[in-house]
Amino acid sequence: MLDGWLDQGVAIKDVVVVEPSGEIGRSGIVVVKDAGGIPAGFSPDIVVLAVKPQMMDGALPAYARFSDSLFLSIAAGKTLAYFAAKLGKVAVVRAMPNTPAAVRRGMTVAVPNAKVTLDQRGKAEALLSSVGDVAWVDNEDLMDAVTAVSGSGPAYVFLMAEVLAQAGVAAGLPGDLAARLARATVSGAGELLNKSPESAAQLRQNVTSPGGTTFAALQVLMAGDGMEPLLTKAVAAASQRSKELAS
């Protein structure tokens, strides 16, 4: 995400990164090992909270002094009420990006608290949109489902590529060829879905000839115990875990 922000024009001199290892792999940026190392007088417009939810309790108090900043959290399960309890009456945007942000193809959903101004919302959107698409919701309860669909979703797609390759091997393909076919098929289909104005359902129908090979496979995948109920169950499990992290 930081690479995307810098590539979109955020000045290196305006960035301070807190990273316990002291290294981030990009030169020219001020990197400190803890919040105590942030240069005196540094007053950020936005404090990006990019730590694992289980680490937030320990990390957050050191940033309470930036009460005039916008806090942008990308930690799963940490609610606006949580930040209000820890930081007081500060502006907070809770966001859920996903890993394709690393290639500028991320999907982020965000929800602001009542303290966020229009200007702050615009700044948050500018940062988040530099690494992909951004959607806003007003109902924070939706964030658990967002986490389950788009936050965790890339792992589902990677698993599909993995098992598609394994199925190819089971059908007789060499392992390296099966892996290549699966990777190219999943990434190519995703790009077609991204660029086509047609729905996923229509694209599926376009490639399915009645009685053909794709039709035979879809008879299995779309059966009563096939992909739809399995993914519904998986998303429900991820959503429930998001709720548990919040508590």
Give, for all 247 residues of the chain, the pLDDT tens digit.
Answer: 788 888 878 889 899 999 988 888 777 889 999 988 998 888 899 999 998 888 899 999 999 999 999 999 998 889 999 999 999 999 999 999 999 988 889 999 999 999 999 999 999 999 999 889 999 999 999 999 999 999 999 999 999 999 999 999 999 999 999 999 999 999 999 999 999 999 999 999 999 999 999 999 999 999 999 999 999 999 999 999 988 887 7
Contact indicator for 19, 31 with CB cutoff of 8 Å: yes
**Closest CA relative to residue 50, chosen from 70, 73, 77:** 73
CA-closest candidate to residue 106, choices 78, 79, 135, 80: 135
| CATH classification number, 153-246, choose in 3.30.70.60, 1.10.3730.10, 2.130.10.10, 2.60.40.1180 | 1.10.3730.10
CA 236 vs CA 119, 144, 145, 188, 240: distances in Å = 35, 9, 8, 28, 6
Location of each CATH 1.10.3730.10 domain in the chain = 153-246
Q: List the one residue out of 57, 183, 47 whose CA is nearest residue 127.
A: 47
Say what the pLDDT of residue 54 is: 86
Helix/strand number for the chain, H first, E second: 10, 7
Spell out the long-range contacts of 243-246 with Cβ–Cβ below 8 A and sequence spacing 24 or more.
243/77, 243/144, 244/77, 245/53, 245/76, 245/77, 245/78, 246/77, 246/78, 246/79, 246/82, 246/144
DSSP 163-207: HHHHHHHHTT--HHHHHHHHHHHHHHHHHHHHH-SS-HHHHHHHT
User: What are the start-end ranges of the H helices in 40-101?
Assistant: 56-59, 80-87
Give residue 81's pLDDT.
95
Please name the fold of domain 2-142: Rossmann fold (3.40.50)
Total Cβ atoms within 10 A of residue 97: 21
| pTM over cut 0.85 | yes
Ranges for all domains in the chain classified under CATH 3.40.50.720: 2-142
Residue 141 and residue 244: Cα distance in Å, rounded? 13
Which amino acid is located at 93 in the chain? V
How does strand 70-73 pair with strand 46-49? parallel
Q: Give a three-class secondary structure readout of 100-157.
A: HHHHCCEEEEEEECCCCCHHHHHHHHHHHHCCEEEEECCCHHHHHHHHHHHHCHHHHH
Query: Looking at residue 158, what is its pLDDT?
Result: 98
Q: Which tokens sit at 188?
A: 């190519």
